[in-house]
Chain A
Amino acid sequence: MSDQGGSEPIIQYCGIHKAFDVPVLRGVDLSVGEGEMFALFGPSGTGKSVLLKTTMGLIQPDQGDVRVAGESVFYGGPKALSAIRKLAGYVFQNAALFDSLNVLDNVLMGLPEDELYALSRSEAARKAWNALELVNLDPELVFAKLPAELSGGMKKRVGIARAIVGRPRILLWDEPTTGLDPVNTAAVERLIMRLSRELETTSLIVTHDIEGGLAMCDRVAMLEGGRIRFSGSPSQFRASPDPVVQAFVDRAAAEAQLDLAGEPSGVS
């Protein structure tokens, strides 16, 4: 598939197959254009996060390849993979902060090793400071804290700061609003849009928050049954005559209503 909305493709999934006892991905072809904000939807367990992890070589597909900025993730060798990992920042669903490191050191892990060693401690801390400010955290307040001392929302922001501190060209977001209440969800969505704009990155967002994804992104795709069921603009997605897409949109809308009616599951 090469419908990356006119711009040059920066991420290309080519025939990705992956099974964990049962097949999860059954030949995924998808392209994300440079500078795009792209949302990937799909019911739970359809392999959205698995697909996202293949982008960084964290999960090896059984068949197929991923190309990032023209380099092959799985056949390009260690140097190509290392270059790809410098190019992209990954925001994990539950932040995945390192328990034993404080916030400053967690954020500094986001700098490539060679860059980190070339900087003085104060220069490196300045970069971490800027990244934390970009995600609306007070660096002075959180620098010395351990992840266990942070709220869920703060952890998420530190995870984002770690992903952006190296100024990546690509940001990969794995369920960035999962577990957040509506207020924090909206705040994180605004943050994603602002960071993508200010840092001029390509964003690929895996989410089940359809409304948020449609509002933020230039293009969306839906993964269903291990394949891309739909790929196009948000307006095309809403108007899709495909009954599977429509059923998914209706079900997601109903779930959103239930979430709003219930207690916020949020974090501060």
Chain B
Amino acid sequence: MAEVLARPVVGSLRGLGRAATLVAEHAGAIGQLSWSIIVTLVRGRVAWRDIVQQMYVIGFQSLPIALVTASLAGIVTSQQGGYQFTGSVPLYVLGSVVVESMILEMGPVLTAIVLVGRVGARITAELGTMVVTEQIDAYQSLGRDSIAILVAPRVVAGIIVMPLLVGLADADGILVGMFAAKLTTGLGYESFLYGARLFWHSWDLVYSLTKALAFGLAIPLISCHMGLRTGGGAAGVGRQTTASVMFMTLTVLILDALFPPLMLQ
């Protein structure tokens, strides 16, 4: 009887153990990959041309979808704030709510989620395909450093473009939110900006861009790590890409949860 009762507990503990081993294994491999990237950068083995090309792919090509997402976030925040505040709180507070929610949370997180789907999945699938078709082996057999050619430019480009993307997304969300507030609640631009200034802290912008930097590092790093660990042909690439998207999304949300106690105390 006791054995029957203990079985689910033992099963759960085993599951936890497996999950912990997996997390430790990935963390170790990502640590090694990060070290390899630092070494290639320090040795000057990464071509600027490759970094610029990746900045175009990761940053410029993601701009339209990042701006559309930020605009919709601004509209929704403005409308919901207007609905809640009308008749209970001075409406100019809406300016502060839209600005702070865009800068502190929605700008960085929504842009990161967009990049997970648009850039992270692509990187994992691309590198995974290169692994299963032996192109990575080919690079190595030809004496080329696949980290310097394929991984480091993507990670460096992610770190550079993500704060720029988030900065633009923040500004876009705020502007669109301001127009939406005018349209839906009749709140004038001056009142909106008055409310925004009333609760403004410059530190919030630093917080937003620091978060962006962390996401800009995490997304390409994890997607490259997952891509390079692909095996098992086309099906393996599919499985690894799905796992990579889950891994990146979770990491973005966990980092997001860790930032307030670290920077908003």
Contacts and interface: CB of A to CB of B under 8 A. Distances in A.
A112 B134 contact: no
Contact of B141 (A85, A98, A113): A85
A86 B134 CA distance: 19
Contact of A56 (B133, B135, B140): B140
Contacts of A109: 138-139, 142, 144
A96 B143 contact: no
B25 interface: no
Contact of B137 (A92, A97, A99): A92
A79 B41 CA distance: 19
A192 B195 CA distance: 78
Interface string B103-147: 000000000000000000000000001100111011111111000
Which 3 A/B pairs are nearest by Cβ-Cβ distance? A96-B134, A96-B138, A90-B141
Given A94-B133, A94-B134, A96-B135, A113 B144 contact: yes
Contacts of B139: 98, 109
Which range contains the number of B residues in contact with the other chain?
Answer: 10 to 19
Contacts of A162: 142
Interface of B: 129-130, 133-135, 137-144
A98 B138 contact: yes
Interface in A82-98: 82, 85-86, 88, 90, 92-94, 96-98
Nearest to A88: B141
A113 B133 contact: no
25 contacts: A56-B141, A57-B140, A58-B140, A85-B140, A85-B141, A90-B137, A90-B138, A90-B141, A92-B138, A93-B134, A96-B133, A96-B135, A96-B137, A96-B138, A97-B135, A98-B138, A98-B139, A99-B135, A109-B138, A109-B139, A109-B144, A110-B142, A112-B143, A113-B143, A113-B144
Interface in A46-75: 53, 56-58
Contacts of B135: 96-99
Contacts of A110: 142
Contact of A53 (B129, B137, B142): B137
A248 B129 CA distance: 34
A140 B133 CA distance: 27
B126 to A, nearest CB: 9
B58 to A, nearest CB: 16
Contacts of B137: 53, 58, 90, 92, 96
